[in-house]
């Protein structure tokens, strides 16, 4: 029996026993496409398209401005926040959907820095997602208070860097390149022991595995709606603020929807005494409605099953790739408990060209500089046979060196 057959048989058995298999039919994935990029953009659910069309044609087209009340447009940020809350282990009333991840980094960071105004140190990782670092640099420059951003490269250095001078710790729970997962409970407890506040970026966590914000006593968290939550390109982001901090923190972008009574049109700002104070301006109804509909699939999903299948998919993929694909080196941690729901490999040739060749043959992953091939495993729609077949196609491309074709070296703006 060949190794390839062994992988296929394992996949077949695992797919037969998959308790999440019924969810795949709710996604519009072309029959021959293997989609391993849900950690970058989740696929469309036809129900989402239908709901957005209804919002356009009926709620906007027919009912017009009445729909702010009649169709619940005005409540969408809170409605969507309540849908996200259980997915990330948060209490009711602690999450609201609003703005973009970048804007929400600014809001939470500025609020946290003002709450620790006697401290001047911000701690993050030098491999953190660039927008988090960019917004931190911009925020400190804007405030002009002499804050220092200290970035570290490993877990030991991180714990040492968080000290009595630290105001805020800003971290992404899952590394966007390698999938490495940080210990939220341990790091949060350490930050609090030193008197610092902590902000967690959940862009590669929400919907990928169980998150426990309340249990870990997290202060602030932010995340996006378009990856594992499948809300569509550029879907609204979300903010989590611990109940005890909601009315203490000063949200710097105090737009009219953050007011306690927006339609009183009071010229003096009075913040809402709830998570609503973290809103800014008028909510984007069409994109919020898409995210709202996309999140309905999560109502009865057991996040423990999500995690179990995620580990199974990633382990099978690693095994198949390492046994059949020459020239690839695992860039992710080997222990699945230390990874999110993605696996990355480096390639000793041109990684960008290899990924383009793979995409051309119907296996969609993505590429990250300097030479990372990244594969995401979204358990709601990825099958075990998908990851085995992806490894087979990858092995064949490497064997035949098709990736060397000049057309695969043409760089697109989005990689």
pLDDT above 90 (res 4): no
Query: Nearest to residue 203, comparing CAs of 235, 239, 172?
Result: 172
Cα(246)–Cα(329) distance, rounded to whole angstroms? 45
Q: What integer pLDDT is reported at residue 415 of this predicted model?
A: 74
Given the residues 51, 180, 227, 242, select the one marked as catalytic.
227
* Identified catalytic residue from 35, 106, 129, 375: 129
Question: Looking at per-residue confidence, does 352 or 412 come out higher?
Answer: 352
User: What's the confidence (pLDDT) of residue 5?
Assistant: 65
**Closest residue by Cα to residue 368 from 181, 200, 176, 225:** 176
Compute the CA torsion angle 394, 395, 398, 400 (nearest 10 deg).
-110
Task: Give the model's pLDDT for residue 11.
Answer: 96
Q: Is 198 helix (H, G, I), strand (E, B) or coil?
A: strand
- Sign of the Cα pseudo-torsion (314, 317, 322, 328, in order): negative
Asked if the model's pLDDT at residue 81 lies above 50, the reply is yes
Q: Which two tokens stand for residue 313?
A: 């998919």
Question: Quick one: tokens of 158?
Answer: 């991180």
Catalytic option among 277, 339, 374, 389? 374
Q: Which of 23, 176, 226, 257 is catalytic?
A: 226
Q: Predicted confidence band at 2 (pLDDT cuts at 50, 70, 90)?
A: low
Please report, for residues 43, 78, 159, the alpha-carbon distance to residue 366 in angstroms, rounded to integers and kept in the order given.
Answer: 15, 33, 31
**Could you tell me the CA-to-CA distances from 105 to 87, 147, 214, 339 in Å, in that order?**
20, 16, 19, 23
For 257-290, the pLDDT digits (tens) are 999 999 999 999 999 999 999 999 999 999 999 9
Q: What is the pLDDT of residues 30-75, one digit of tens each?
A: 999 999 999 999 999 999 999 999 999 999 999 999 999 999 999 9
Average pLDDT over residues 213-217: 98
**Residue 374 appears among annotated catalytic residues:** yes
> CA dist 298 to 57, 87, 140, 193, 302, Å?
26, 8, 37, 35, 8
Structure tokens belonging to residue 246 = 């909601």
Is 200:89 a contact under the CB 8 Å cutoff? no
CA angle 86, 90, 93 (to 5 degrees): 100
User: What's the whole-number average pLDDT of the chain?
Assistant: 96
**Once rounded to an integer, what is the mean pLDDT over residues 359-385?**
97
Distance (Å, whole) CA 242 – CA 220: 6
Instruction: Sketch out the chain's domains with CATH numbers.
Output: 3-32+302-409 (3.90.1150.10), 50-298 (3.40.640.10)
290, two tokens:
């898409």
The two beta strands, 148-152 and 197-201, are unpaired
Q: Give bridge partners of residue 376 from the DSSP assignment.
A: 342
Give yes or no: 201 in active site: yes
> How many other CB atoms sit within 10 Å of the CB of residue 145?
13
Share of the chain above pLDDT 70, in %: 99
Q: How confident is the model at residue 216 (pLDDT cuts 50, 70, 90)?
A: very high
**H helix or E strand, kind and range, residue 313:** helix 303-324
DSSP 101-146: HHHHHHHHHHHHHHHTTT--EEEEETTS-HHHHHHHHHHHHHHTS-
Query: 331 near 344, Cβ under 8 Å?
Result: yes
Of the candidates 18, 37, 132, 201, the residue annotated as catalytic is 201
């Amino acid at each position: 029996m060949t190794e390839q057959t062994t992988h296929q048989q394992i996949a077949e058995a695992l797919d037969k026993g998959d308790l999440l298999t019924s969810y795949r039919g709710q996604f519009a994935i072309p029959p021959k496409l293997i989609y391993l990029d849900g950690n970058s953009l989740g696929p469309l659910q036809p129900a989402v398209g239908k709901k957005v069309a209804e919002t356009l044609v009926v709620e906007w087209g027919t009912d017009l401005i009445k729909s702010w009340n009649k169709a619940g447009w005005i409540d969408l940020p809170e409605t969507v926040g309540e849908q996200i809350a259980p997915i990330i282990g948060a209490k009711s009333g602690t999450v609201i959907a609003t703005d973009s991840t970048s804007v929400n980094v600014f809001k939470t960071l500025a609020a946290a820095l003002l709450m620790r105004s006697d401290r001047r140190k911000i701690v993050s990782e030098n491999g953190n997602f660039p927008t988090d670092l960019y917004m931190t640099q911009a925020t400190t420059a804007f405030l002009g208070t002499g804050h220092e951003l200290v970035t570290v490269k490993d877990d030991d250095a991180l714990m040492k860097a968080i000290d009595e001078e630290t105001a805020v710790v800003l971290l992404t729970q899952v590394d966007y390149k390698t999938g490495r997962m940080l210990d939220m409970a341990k790091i949060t407890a350490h930050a609090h022991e030193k008197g610092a506040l902590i902000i967690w970026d959940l862009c590669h966590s929400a919907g990928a595995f169980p998150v426990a914000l309340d249990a870990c006593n997290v202060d602030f968290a932010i995340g996006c709606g378009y990856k594992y939550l499948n809300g569509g390109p550029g879907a609204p982001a979300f903010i989590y603020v611990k109940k005890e901090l909601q009315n203490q923190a000063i949200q710097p972008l105090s737009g009219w929807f953050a007011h306690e009574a927006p339609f009183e049109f009071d010229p003096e700002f009075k913040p809402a005494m709830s998570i609503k104070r973290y809103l800014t301006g008028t909510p984007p109804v069409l994109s919020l409605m898409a995210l709202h509909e996309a999140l309905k699939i999560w109502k009865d999903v057991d996040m423990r099953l999500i995690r179990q299948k995620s580990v199974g998919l990633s382990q099978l993929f690693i095994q198949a790739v390492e046994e059949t694909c020459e020239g690839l080196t695992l860039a992710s941690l080997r222990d699945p408990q230390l990874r999110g729901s993605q696996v990355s490999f480096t390639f000793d040739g041109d990684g960008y060209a290899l990924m383009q060749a793979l995409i051309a043959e119907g296996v969609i992953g993505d590429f990250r500089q300097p030479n990372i091939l990244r594969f995401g495993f979204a358990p709601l729609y990825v099958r075990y046979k998908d990851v085995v077949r992806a490894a087979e196609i990858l092995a064949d491309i490497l064997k035949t060196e098709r990736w060397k074709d000049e057309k695969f070296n043409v760089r697109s703006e989005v990689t």
